[in-house]
Structure 1
């Protein structure tokens, strides 16, 4: 790295002080301010998927053709991928707080624009910007949460927060019932009200989020250790006051060569050269969960309608979504106790195996039994999929954290949101027009199951035992002082356990 960007060397105990904090009301503020945006994402995605008819009708919507509806979905996915990569590198460069305020602002503004769409082009542009905001959120929020939450609780909090997407999905599914009922809501306004509601909720979250501080870990690495020290002292005072406990002293320190900026080539080299095994691990986890979800969830509504005679899918989707969130909530703590490797392997392999069995017996299900089977599969899968984001966030050096999350999120989103719908949509079309019946879509189940099982097996071999460990011990910062280098972290052998 250039000497021009180095600002000095410091020895700090900030990471140890943040990790030794007991859980308190302050931590709930972080969770609410940063984590609840996934509820908005789930709400919007579900509502958009259910509003196709209203948007397609030129009298109530924008006169979108079937191609336009598919294009809007692809535009949203493209925006999410590009936004994740764009805002991800900015998050590592300019700080967590600046970007998690900006990305939520982008999402909110784009959602309002969507509600006021007057032409298909307007709608497409608004969907792209909305996707960019959501993609940036995944990078900024996951990195900030992991750096503010104590190591003891990091796994369960991350899994639960990422799983909260399904709270929004359940809410969105239930909202579509009155919004799609012309006797209750004028169809010309129903879809616009849905987007407007999302914007109102986002503004509420933005107000809470303003009280969440910048990551002290990011500050001390970027030459702003005085600000980091002030923030940590304020957090300690709040936590001590809220819990009524004196905080224990710490002795663990880390020495850092501070940098104002970290060059992008160094970040790329770190991910692909210093940690190739962890790169393979994250790639396998993200692609596996993306295809698993699309294999079942993307075909779920059409399966109920086309093959099982269901006319109102909202209740079924809501039940399915609730099971996803309960799975993340119930199984999340086990990632901190039983451990990351065992839980990733178990949730991925078991859910993949159950989906494989479902595909083999697909023609024996009713709408109710298929929903019950989906609830069982994704009770397991949602925890594993949420833990994929946790893994990408904690197994790479701090300076690369947001960009790494963005990179793997973009891969998973592109695979699941572009390749997945193309493949599974074709299977459904062939099953309906070709008269082959429901068993024709089983191929999608087999592909999703195989990739999920592979992801679980990769986790068993390459998984990182990160439970209860500080982020700095899982992956030493690039700027860490090398006076006493640890060969497990600083060579190209890619450490897998610490």
Structure 2
């Protein structure tokens, strides 16, 4: 797989699998903007606490879905799971638009979150195992960064859906839940044409299917006039049937066999999640509370913020494959953290306007977005293939637990009440400084503990657990080419 040139087959994989982050971006942005509509007596008439609970239960669903489906994708295969998880999301999100009370909405949001959480594990595993090593970094980072493309689409949709002059309030919120499923419904047909990962097939004793899958891919390329280099002896790897991974064996792999990599994965995921959720979930409150931006206008400031987040992974992604992982990860983390220091000083000094504050956020997250995407890339490529999905799920759950819960709660309290005409900037400034220190620390850890995985085969980065011992010790059952 790593010797193949970039072709339309790889574009099919990127489009078919990369849509997951776009769906999540659309979902979160639309739902975060429908609080007013959901509290209206013409809709579900929810309280503020009930609206907040719908967001929390979605994040909780993502964690549960990642952990459950992460294990299943390692056991049952990538393709089966990236079809199942997308179907779960489609049905649950569509059902949310038909909710008749708060409890039904909660259940639907939790199940939709499970689908998206499962998507992360299945599609990131498949992308890493199918995309050639030469392009793996830029593709994974760009795909993860498309979350912000989805968020921008969601923000644009809210300008119509929640404008009562265009869409009745009792219908706007319901229609919002159908945008993601409609996009996903179109993509599911593309996914059916994406093959199972040959790497997964081989390590699960299905060598013949793996060979057939690769033969089909190669025939398509040759039919397009593409000359392929032959497989050499150095590309072969003898493997046996994979071990049965119990929870205790997973703990041994993470913390006994790969303790440095586990510390790296935890640090990268937790630090980027803290910075992201601290700023993203309180951005609107900061604009309203400190810059007197009307609540109905905060969406306009989101567009440049989303574009900056989208451009970072797209433009910086190729450098992770050329300059290298450690340099780029450390650089993006440290630069974004340092810029947040500058932003904290300017915010405390009171020299920023809503526009200049947003501009600073755009620059900060141009780098932070690429760094955050590289965190997902890192945890998906530095562990053995047999537990790749579970590794992604484990560290994703940690990032959501740290960033998804602690950071928004903390920064919400640092912002303070809304009834003070001269709000105190000191607490939030201290929060920004803390976020900057955390992000810079993540970059330093990445420099010292990082893995030079650029342009390397996954099997060279982390040997499969099913790799056969020397010939004199055992008889291999499968040859991985």
Identify whether the pair has TM-score above 0.5, normalized to the shorter chain.
yes
What CA distance in whole angstroms lies between the structure 2 residues aligned with 1:378 and 1:137?
24
Structure-2 change in CA distance of 1:246 and 1:259 (3 Å): closer
Conservation of the 8 A alpha-carbon contact between 1:100 and 1:137: yes
SS in 2 for 1:240: helix
After TM superposition, give the deviation of residue 171 of structure 1 in Å. Answer: 1.0
2:312 counterpart of 1:330: no
> Which segment is superposed worse, 179-188 or 27-36?
179-188
SS in 2 for 1:258: coil
Structure-2 change in CA distance of 1:90 and 1:240 (3 Å): same
Q: Which residue of 1 aligns with 2:465?
A: 478
Conservation of the 8 A alpha-carbon contact between 2:340 and 2:436: yes
Q: Which residue of 1 aligns with 2:334?
A: 349
SS in 2 for 1:255: strand
Conservation of the 8 A alpha-carbon contact between 2:34 and 2:162: yes
Task: Select 2:416's aligned residue among 429, 437, 453.
Answer: 429
Q: Which residue of 1 aligns with 2:431?
A: 444
After TM superposition, give the deviation of residue 32 of structure 1 in Å. Answer: 0.6
After superposition, the C-alpha distances for 1:194-250 in whole angstroms (9 at most, x for unaligned) are: 111111111111111111111111111111111011001111112233353243433
SS in 2 for 1:237: helix
Q: TM-score, normalised by structure 2?
A: 0.94
What CA distance in whole angstroms lies between the structure 1 residues aligned with 2:385 and 2:142?
22
Task: Select 1:37's aligned residue among 20, 25, 41.
Answer: 20
2:9 counterpart of 1:23: no
What CA distance in whole angstroms lies between the structure 2 residues aligned with 1:248 and 1:415?
47
Structure-2 change in CA distance of 1:449 and 1:220 (3 Å): same
Q: Which residue of 1 aligns with 2:107?
A: 125
Conservation of the 8 A alpha-carbon contact between 1:170 and 1:319: no
Residue ranges of structure 2 left out of the alignment (5+ in a row): 473-481
Residue ranges of structure 1 left out of the alignment (5+ in a row): 1-17, 486-498
Conservation of the 8 A alpha-carbon contact between 1:291 and 1:447: no
SS in 1 for 2:224: helix
Conservation of the 8 A alpha-carbon contact between 2:242 and 2:465: no
After TM superposition, give the deviation of residue 438 of structure 1 in Å. Answer: 4.3
Conservation of the 8 A alpha-carbon contact between 1:139 and 1:406: yes
After TM superposition, give the deviation of residue 431 of structure 1 in Å. Answer: 6.6
Alignment of 1:378-393 (within 5 A): 378-393=365-380
Structure-2 change in CA distance of 1:262 and 1:223 (3 Å): farther
After superposition, the C-alpha distances for 1:410-467 in whole angstroms (9 at most, x for unaligned) are: 1001111111221112122347559534443223212221211111000010000000
RMSD: 1.6
Alignment of 1:209-228 (within 5 A): 209-228=191-210
SS in 1 for 2:281: helix
Q: Which residue of 2 aligns with 1:319?
A: 304
2:126 counterpart of 1:141: no
Structure-2 change in CA distance of 1:94 and 1:372 (3 Å): same
2:180 counterpart of 1:195: no
